[in-house]
C-alpha cells in the first residue's frame, strides 16, 4: 500500500523512531499504526508512544558561549519529573546534545535531533533509548543560536531558565556585567520582543481587541475605542518589550537607557529567553 510522508511523520512523532524505521514498520504493518509501533524494536520507542502526550515541565537548560564571546547556543532538555532531571544519564545526554550542536554549528532543534553522537546513534535515537530505560517522556524542547559582537548569557539558579543577549556597536568595551543584568531581566520579565516593531503582529492585534473590549465593558463611547485601545497597546509595549521595560534594579531607567548610559552607542541586537516549565 502507499505509505505517505504524513504517515511516516505521524509515527515518528508518536515513537521518536527514525524516518526510515517508521517507513519500514508502516510498510510491514500495511499502514496499521498499532502494528507499526509493535514492529519497532526498541522498547524506548514503545514507551515514547505511550507517553507522547505527557507534560514535560522539568529538566535542565544548558548554555555554551563560544571562546570568542561572539556566539552562544542554548539547549532546553525536558522531562516529566524532577528526579529524572537529576539522573546522571539524563544530564550526560543533555551535555552531549549541546556539545554536538556546538560542534556541528546547529541553530535549531530539528537539526540537533538528527545529529550523530559518539556512540553512532542520532540524538533522537539516544533520547528514545533513554525514554525506554527511564520510563518517562524526554524531549529537546528548545535549541537556539545567538550571535553578535558580544554575547552574554545568564542561567537561573534552578537550571531551568536562561537569558542570552547579543550586543553590537560596543566599541570594544567590556559589556559582561551589563549583559548579565540584561539577561537576568530577560529571564525575570519575559519580554515578548526587543522593541515594538519586533512584536508578533498577531499579538498586537490581540492586544488591540482586548483593549477595545475592556473599554467597551467600561461603557466608553464606540468612537473612542480605537484611541483607548492604542493607549493600552503603548502601555503593553512599555511593559512587554525589552528595550522599553523598566530596569528591575533601577526603575528610573529603561533597558535602552541603561545600555546607553553604560556603553554609549551600544545596541542590543537580539535576545533569547528559554524556560522549562
What fold, for 5-41?
Helicase, Ruva Protein; domain 3 (1.10.8)
Q: Are 272 and 192 in contact (CB under 8 A)?
A: no
Q: Which residue intervals of the chain bear CATH 3.30.479.20? A: 51-147
CATH (residue range 51-147): 3.30.479.20
pTM: 0.78
Neighbours of 103 (CB within 10 A): 9
Taking the C-alpha atoms of residue 237 and residue 143, their distance in angstroms, rounded to an integer, is: 27
Q: What does each of the 277 residues of the chain score in pLDDT, given as a tens digit? A: 688 888 888 887 777 666 787 888 898 888 888 888 777 754 355 556 667 778 899 999 999 999 999 999 999 999 999 999 999 999 999 999 999 999 999 999 999 999 999 999 999 999 988 987 888 899 999 999 999 999 999 999 999 999 999 999 999 999 999 999 999 999 999 999 999 999 999 999 999 999 999 999 899 999 999 999 999 999 999 999 999 999 999 999 999 999 999 999 999 999 999 999 8
Taking the C-alpha atoms of residue 264 and residue 167, their distance in angstroms, rounded to an integer, is: 12
Mean pLDDT value across the chain: 91
pLDDT in tens, 110-140: 999 999 999 999 999 999 889 878 888 999 9
Q: Which residue intervals of the chain bear CATH 1.10.8.10? A: 5-41
Q: How far is residue 51 CA from its own chain's centroid?
A: 21
The 3-class secondary structure across the chain, one letter per residue, is: CCCCHHHHHHHHHHHCCCHHHHHHHHHHCCCCHHHHHHHCCCHHHHHHHHCCCCCCCEEEEEEEECCCCCEEEEEEEEECCHHHHCCHHHHHHHHHHHHHHHHCCCCCHHHHHCCECCCCCEHHHHHHHHHHHHCCCEEEEEEEEEECCEEEEEECCCCCEEEEEEEECCCCCCCHHHHHHHHHHHHHHCCCECCHHHCCHHHHHHHHHHHHHHHHHCCCCHHHHHHHHHHHHHHHHHHHEHHHCEECCEEEEEHHHHHHHHCCCCEEEEEEEEECC
Amino acid at each position: 500500500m502507499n505509505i505517505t510522508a504524513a504517515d511516516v511523520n505521524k509515527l515518528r512523532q508518536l515513537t521518536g523512531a527514525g524516518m526510515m524505521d517508521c517507513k519500514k514498520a508502516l510498510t510491514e504493518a500495511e499502514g496499521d499504526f498499532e502494528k507499526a509501533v509493535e514492529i519497532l524494536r526498541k522498547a524506548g520507542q514503545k514507551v515514547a508512544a505511550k507517553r507522547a502526550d505527557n507534560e514535560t515541565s522539568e529538566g535542565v537548560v544548558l548554555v555554551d558561549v563560544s571562546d570568542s564571546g561572539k556566539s552562544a547556543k542554548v539547549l532546553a532538555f525536558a522531562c516529566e519529573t524532577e528526579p529524572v532531571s537529576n539522573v546522571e544519564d539524563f544530564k550526560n545526554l543533555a551535555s552531549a546534545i549541546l556539545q554536538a550542536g556546538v560542534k556541528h554549528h546547529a541553530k535549531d532543534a530539528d537539526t540537533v535531533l538528527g545529529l550523530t553522537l559518539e556512540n553512532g546513534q542520532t540524538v533522537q535515537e539516544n533520547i528514545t533509548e533513554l525514554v525506554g530505560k527511564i520510563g518517562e517522556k524526554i524531549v529537546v524542547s528548545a535549541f537556539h543560536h545567538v550571535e553578535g559582537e558580544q554575547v552574554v548569557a545568564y542561567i537561573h539558579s534552578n537550571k531551568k531558565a536562561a537569558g542570552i543577549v547579543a550586543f553590537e556597536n560596543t566599541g570594544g568595551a567590556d559589556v559582561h556585567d551589563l549583559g548579565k543584568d540584561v539577561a537576568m531581566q530577560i529571564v525575570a520579565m519575559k519580554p515578548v520582543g526587543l522593541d515594538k516593531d519586533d512584536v508578533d503582529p498577531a499579538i498586537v492585534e490581540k492586544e488591540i481587541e482586548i483593549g477595545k473590549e475592556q473599554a467597551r465593558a467600561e461603557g466608553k463611547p464606540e468612537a473612542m475605542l480605537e484611541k483607548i485601545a492604542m493607549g493600552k497597546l503603548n502601555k503593553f509595549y512599555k511593559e512587554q518589550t525589552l528595550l522599553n521595560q523598566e530596569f528591575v534594579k533601577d526603575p528610573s531607567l529603561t533597558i535602552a537607557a541603561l545600555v546607553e548610559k553604560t556603553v554609549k552607542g551600544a545596541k542590543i541586537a537580539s535576545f533569547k529567553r528559554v524556560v522549562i516549565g
